[in-house]
Structure 1
Amino acid sequence: MITRDREAFAGLARNTAPDFGPSCAKAAFLVVPEGFALAEQSASDNAYMDLGVRVDPARALDQHRDLHRALAGVLPTVAFPGDPATPDALFPNNVFGTAPGRLILGHMRHPVRQREAERADIRGFFAAMGYRERDLRAQPGICELTGALVIDRARGLGYAGLGERCDEAGAAAMHAAFGLRATLMFDLAAGEYHTNVVMSVLAGRALVVCPAGFADPGVASAIAALYAPHVLELSPDQKGRFAGNCIALSDDRVWISQAGADALRPGQRDALAEAGFALAPVALDEIEKAGGSLRCCVAEIY
């Protein structure tokens, strides 16, 4: 099922067992922010970027190394070299996605990001492990993978936020490529560029969501009902500090930027603890100047 009908989706989702696959990735990869800079094309539809802000490439590299070191303590994490010609490549989850035995290449909106999918080293890495390639670049829909599509891997459910970086054709292409059981399509609020900034499903059992990031906040409420009581509702200010751009890479820990963690209220931290999660914050304020945060940096390997 792929639909805009939230009631039909909820009816199926409520009766879907968490037996689709592992709720968390078995490994991850990053792309080093070599020559860290702000991409002008990306800034055209990313309200979280300010081209007038000064960036410090050395500090971005240091923060990225800290992230790599921290993640590697939990699961195997590979880092591929970056390229100054592709300044947004440090957010590889938009271009590369995986399902068991499959590497999926997304159809990026901006030419500066389309070049990233040509990388022979990343594609060769997965080919050597026997992954088949599913290339979505030739199909007509724009689909920026797990930036646009938040996936509940335990149940095989997808949440596709539509906007400049994902349209209905692209959502359908991702639904098929990831082999999902059901995908709910909905419009993001004006000014939002990726779904994974306004919501995150944590290990299939908890939800972080900002209703203001949805064109219809009622959609956020319908999704929240599927994960109650383990739901953290974010304010627009918390969303702006990337509290929603978090990820569970194990059943007991939520990775989030330090800015995002600092934005959480005590009650929200308690709610995560009640759901069985400890916070694992990493300082990424320099990288966040590029309009993305921790979850955007992590490409999951299933």
Structure 2
Amino acid sequence: MGNQNLPWIQPLSLNRPAQPQLARAVVMVRPVDFAFNEQTGADNVFQHRLNLPAAAVTAQAMAEFDTMTRRLSEHGLRVMVLEKSPDGIATPDAVFPNNWFTTSADGSLHIYPMHTPNRRQERRVEELARLLLQHDYQINQISWVGHPWEEELILEGTGVMIFDHARRRVYAARSQRCHPLALYRYARLRGLDDVQLFDTADSHGVPIYHSNVMMSVGQDIAVICADSLYQPEQRQQVLAALESTHEVIRISHEQVEQHFCGNILQLAAQDGTPLLAMSQRAWNGFTPQQQRVLERHGQPVVNPIPTIEAVGGGSCRCMLAEVFLPRLEH
């Protein structure tokens, strides 16, 4: 069990600046080592093996990544790319950085305990900090949530925590990647007022490994697979919280499992224009009526990433680590 009095998780000042819901910048990690991850495949049912040579899988993922970074940049989002580490350690899931770090408007950078050993290798804190500082972002504190070698109290960042910053609320599905004690400790650390912890099951009765494949919360729009919340009281409570503040699109198990419709992210261009980042597969999975609702809340930025989705078991949102740090303007 972790020690809740570790010095690197002391609470920050409660006089925090307001945290916006929509980030205008993201960090993405180039998938140089992209491959089927044997260590995460045990509980990520979204991962699949392709009948292709390993080099071809990596090359396709790299091409998809380059197209996505270009499209996001063209829509006015600031995209910073963390390149391959010179240490040579293979990290097949590095393209999904939102699991190992988050940033806050108070200048804090939080680093999270990861479920598998090879995902812990993704946490290149010094290189990340250097990248952010090079782009004039201010880092006031770097904090480990738990400790770097934690094996029980796992909390995989915004893979498992879906934030409604305006209401200081977090939604989270219980899983091997989201330990309740780690979640509540983090909520206390950040001064969150409301923790919506719930249990899920996919169409085969298996717990959903990351909350962000079945739900997304933006500034004024939310997407959720309510059917995956199999306990009626939890489902009612979560839907009531969402519907009191957001226009809610309810998606099916099929839309989650076959199309990644829950794995989308509302962002903002540098001029404040709302954007909705998602994969081509997700956009095609929404009904025409749902597409029209989405378009009312932002410009869809649709990205074809079939190889990353099929082999990595994650989609567009997983590839985007939001940057909320204060920036020094010149």
TM-score, normalisation: structure 1:
0.86
1:283 matches 2:283: no
Residues 58, 187 of structure 1: alpha-carbon distance in 2 compared, 3 angstrom cutoff = same
* Secondary structure of residue in 2 paired with 1:116: coil
* Alpha-carbon shift at residue 130 of structure 1 (Å): 2.6
In structure 1, what residue type is equivalent to 2:164? D
What is the CA–CA distance in structure 2 between the aligned matches of 1:111 and 1:213, rounded to whole Å? 29
Corresponding residue of 2:212: 196
**Is the CA contact (8 Å cut-off) linking 1:158 and 1:180 kept in structure 2?**
yes
* Secondary structure of residue in 2 paired with 1:207: strand
Corresponding residue of 1:66: 67
**Is the CA contact (8 Å cut-off) linking 1:33 and 1:87 kept in structure 2?**
yes
* Alpha-carbon shift at residue 265 of structure 1 (Å): 0.4
**Is the CA contact (8 Å cut-off) linking 1:93 and 1:297 kept in structure 2?**
yes
* Secondary structure of residue in 1 paired with 2:306: coil
What is the CA–CA distance in structure 2 between the aligned matches of 1:269 and 1:221, rounded to whole Å? 25
Identity among equivalent pairs (%): 29
* Alpha-carbon shift at residue 227 of structure 1 (Å): 3.6
* Secondary structure of residue in 1 paired with 2:35: coil
1:117 matches 2:118: no
Where do 1:134-283 residues align within 5 Å?
134-138=143-147, 141-189=153-201, 190-203=206-219, 205-216=220-231, 218-228=233-243, 230-240=247-257, 241-250=259-268, 252-274=274-296, 276-283=297-304
**Is the CA contact (8 Å cut-off) linking 1:82 and 1:89 kept in structure 2?**
no
**Is the CA contact (8 Å cut-off) linking 1:230 and 1:272 kept in structure 2?**
no
* Alpha-carbon shift at residue 21 of structure 1 (Å): 2.4
| CA shift digits 1:212-247 (9 cap, x unpaired) | 332425534432333436111111111111010000
* Alpha-carbon shift at residue 59 of structure 1 (Å): 1.3
Where do 1:45-60 residues align within 5 Å?
45-51=43-49, 54=52, 56-60=57-61
What is the CA–CA distance in structure 2 between the aligned matches of 1:202 and 1:107, rounded to whole Å? 25
Residues 52, 71 of structure 1: alpha-carbon distance in 2 compared, 3 angstrom cutoff = closer
What is the CA–CA distance in structure 2 between the aligned matches of 1:279 and 1:161, rounded to whole Å? 26
* Secondary structure of residue in 1 paired with 2:318: helix
* Secondary structure of residue in 1 paired with 2:239: helix
What is the CA–CA distance in structure 2 between the aligned matches of 1:69 and 1:287, rounded to whole Å? 16
More displaced, 184-193 or 52-61? 52-61
TM-score, normalisation: structure 2:
0.79
What is the CA–CA distance in structure 1 between the aligned matches of 2:46 and 2:123, rounded to whole Å? 24
What is the CA–CA distance in structure 2 between the aligned matches of 1:102 and 1:244, rounded to whole Å? 27
Structure whose alpha-carbon radius of gyration is higher: 2
What is the CA–CA distance in structure 2 between the aligned matches of 1:141 and 1:265, rounded to whole Å? 38
Residues 224, 278 of structure 1: alpha-carbon distance in 2 compared, 3 angstrom cutoff = farther
What is the CA–CA distance in structure 1 between the aligned matches of 2:110 and 2:285, rounded to whole Å? 33
What is the CA–CA distance in structure 2 between the aligned matches of 1:118 and 1:107, rounded to whole Å? 13
**Is the CA contact (8 Å cut-off) linking 2:267 and 2:277 kept in structure 1?**
yes
Where do 1:91-102 residues align within 5 Å?
91-100=96-105, 101-102=107-108
Corresponding residue of 1:105: 111
Corresponding residue of 1:9: none
Residues 288, 177 of structure 1: alpha-carbon distance in 2 compared, 3 angstrom cutoff = farther
* Alpha-carbon shift at residue 268 of structure 1 (Å): 0.9
What is the CA–CA distance in structure 2 between the aligned matches of 1:235 and 1:28, rounded to whole Å? 29
In structure 2, what residue type is equivalent to 1:34? V
| CA shift digits 1:141-169 (9 cap, x unpaired) | 11001001000122221012111101111
* Secondary structure of residue in 2 paired with 1:117: coil
Query: Which residue among 276, 299, 302 is the counterpart of 2:321?
Result: 299
* Secondary structure of residue in 2 paired with 1:57: helix
* Secondary structure of residue in 2 paired with 1:143: coil
More displaced, 238-247 or 181-190? 181-190
What is the CA–CA distance in structure 2 between the aligned matches of 1:177 and 1:298, rounded to whole Å? 23
Corresponding residue of 2:141: 132
In structure 2, what residue type is equivalent to 1:238? Q
